[in-house]
Amino acid sequence: MIEFAPIRIPVIRRLQTLAVSHFVFCFLFFAAVSTLVTVYLTLFTSYWPFTTLYFVYLFFDRNTPESGGRRSTWIRNWRLWKWMSDYFPCTLHKTVDLDPTRNYIFGIHPHGVLCVGSFTHFSTNGSNFDHIFPGFKSYLTMLPFWFKTPFFRDYAMTGGLVPSSKKAIQHIITRPKGGNICCIIPGGAPESLNARPGDVVLILKNRIGFLKMAVTNGVPLVPVFSFGDHALWEQKPNPPGSFIRRFQDSSQKWTQVALPMFHARGIFQYNYGLMPYRRSVHTVVGEPIEIVQRSNPTSEELLQLQELYISRLRDMFEAHKSKYLPDDCKLIIN
Ligand SMILES: *[C@@H]1O[C@H](CO)[C@@H](O)[C@H](O)[C@H]1NC(C)=O
């Protein structure tokens, strides 16, 4: 039985659905569509002078993503993002005040299928980031691959998205006046393959890079837990060793892009489709871990820091889970 959405829905809920479908479209198809259209216009039509001009611009703009990108306060403040945030709704919780004369690294967990919480809070002002963290600019990191795609890269940069490369991260966390937050999702795309209602499964034990960035630059590290982000879509079972998982692992290896087989609901009915469920996401920003700067940390020192980081993350999870997640939900860290 297909369960249709009622015909009479308040306009505001329709706008929220519109905003989320725009987000899902952008992250799934924008890059592919804009690449195909650009190639087509260049090779097969008389519009090639326009796309050629764009390529010239790309050439001169090639270093922008790794030097802080190109934020747009206007776009970050679009009403669209407030609607998107209110669809779930997404709420940002601060546990302590941060010092706007310093820079910080946020480690955000879990990735979820499409990083809804991280994007809403840290790439837009949809959940009021600018008010909750006054004096800060947040930059969310994304696979460098996406910054090679025409037009999508420009749109992504308006939200403060930057590549998850060492150079791009360093550019942000070493700015002298402070007030910058570099948001890293250490689990990355592979963690999206674990996102489904139920337990939260993180990939963290072999993620040393972000810890090393914090130590070599002496930047405080803040664990962030996004409660509910893992449960917004269903995902086909893909246990390690299964056919689906082996396919996903090899496609990931060759293209960097993970292919989670997810579904939840549609725009006009509640049974099939790529739209997420309307379920709340509560993102808790923890206390900073102070870091002593060291140019060449040993792997032992990094493992010690990792132990501390994971214990802080577990404490945060235990402290807040009863408010935001079902009772039997466990945190599994791989
Ligand atoms: C961010 O959104 C809030 C409302 O949610 C608004 O009060 C605030 O002015 C916005 N920030 C900026 C910088 O416009």
Residue 256 has pLDDT above 80, yes or no: no
For ligand 1, whether the C-beta of 130 sits within 6 Å is yes
Residue 1 has pLDDT above 80, yes or no: no
Q: How many H-runs (helices) and E-runs (strands) does the chain carry?
A: 13, 11
Instruction: Quote the ligand 1 centre to 155 CA distance (angstroms).
Output: 20
Instruction: Quote the ligand 1 centre to 319 CA distance (angstroms).
Output: 29
How far is Cα 110 from Cα 202, in angstroms, rounded to an integer?
Answer: 6
Q: What is the per-residue pLDDT for 172?
A: 97
Which amino acid, one-letter code, is at 282?
H
For ligand 1, whether the C-beta of 91 sits within 6 Å is no
Most ligand 1 atoms within 8 A of CB, residue of 121, 125, 127, 138 to mutate = 125
Q: pLDDT grade, residue 240 (50/70/90)?
A: confident
Q: What is the per-residue pLDDT for 269?
A: 83
Q: What is the per-residue pLDDT for 9?
A: 83
Residue 295: other Cβ atoms inside 10 A: 8
* N residues, the chain: 334
For ligand 1, whether the C-beta of 131 sits within 6 Å is yes
Question: Is the pLDDT higher at 255 or at 94?
Answer: 94
Most ligand 1 atoms within 8 A of CB, residue of 74, 77, 84, 85 to mutate = 77
Residue closest via CA to ligand 1's atom 2 equals 128
Instruction: Name the β-bridge partners of 289.
Output: 221
Residue 196 has pLDDT above 80, yes or no: yes
What are 309-327's pLDDT values in tens digits?
A: 999 999 999 999 999 999 9
Residue closest via CA to ligand 1's atom 4 equals 128
For ligand 1, whether the C-beta of 74 sits within 6 Å is no
Residue 216 has pLDDT above 90, yes or no: yes
Percent of the chain with pLDDT over 70: 100
How far is Cα 279 from Cα 297, in angstroms, rounded to an integer?
Answer: 41
Q: What is the per-residue pLDDT for 78?
A: 97
What are 97-152's pLDDT values in tens digits?
A: 999 999 999 999 999 999 999 999 999 999 999 999 999 999 999 999 999 999 99
Residue closest via CA to ligand 1's atom 14 equals 77
Q: pLDDT grade, residue 7 (50/70/90)?
A: confident
Instruction: Quote the ligand 1 centre to 74 CA distance (angstroms).
Output: 11
Residue 57 has pLDDT above 90, yes or no: yes
Task: Provide the token pair at 158.
Answer: 């308006």
What are 260-269's pLDDT values in tens digits?
A: 888 888 888 8
Q: What is the per-residue pLDDT for 177?
A: 95
pTM: 0.93
Q: What is the per-residue pLDDT for 40?
A: 95
Distances (CA, A) of 261 to 237, 247, 258, 316: 9, 11, 10, 30
Ligand 1: which atom is nearest the Cα of residue 127? 5
DSSP class of residue 289?
B
For ligand 1, whether the C-beta of 125 sits within 6 Å is yes
CB distance 157 to 65 below 8 Å: yes
Can you list the domains of the chain with their CATH numbers? Answer: 11-333 (3.40.1130)
Ligand 1: which atom is nearest the Cα of residue 82? 5
**Average pLDDT estimate for 217-230:** 97
Burial (0-12, 13-18, 19+ Cβ within 10 Å), 222? buried
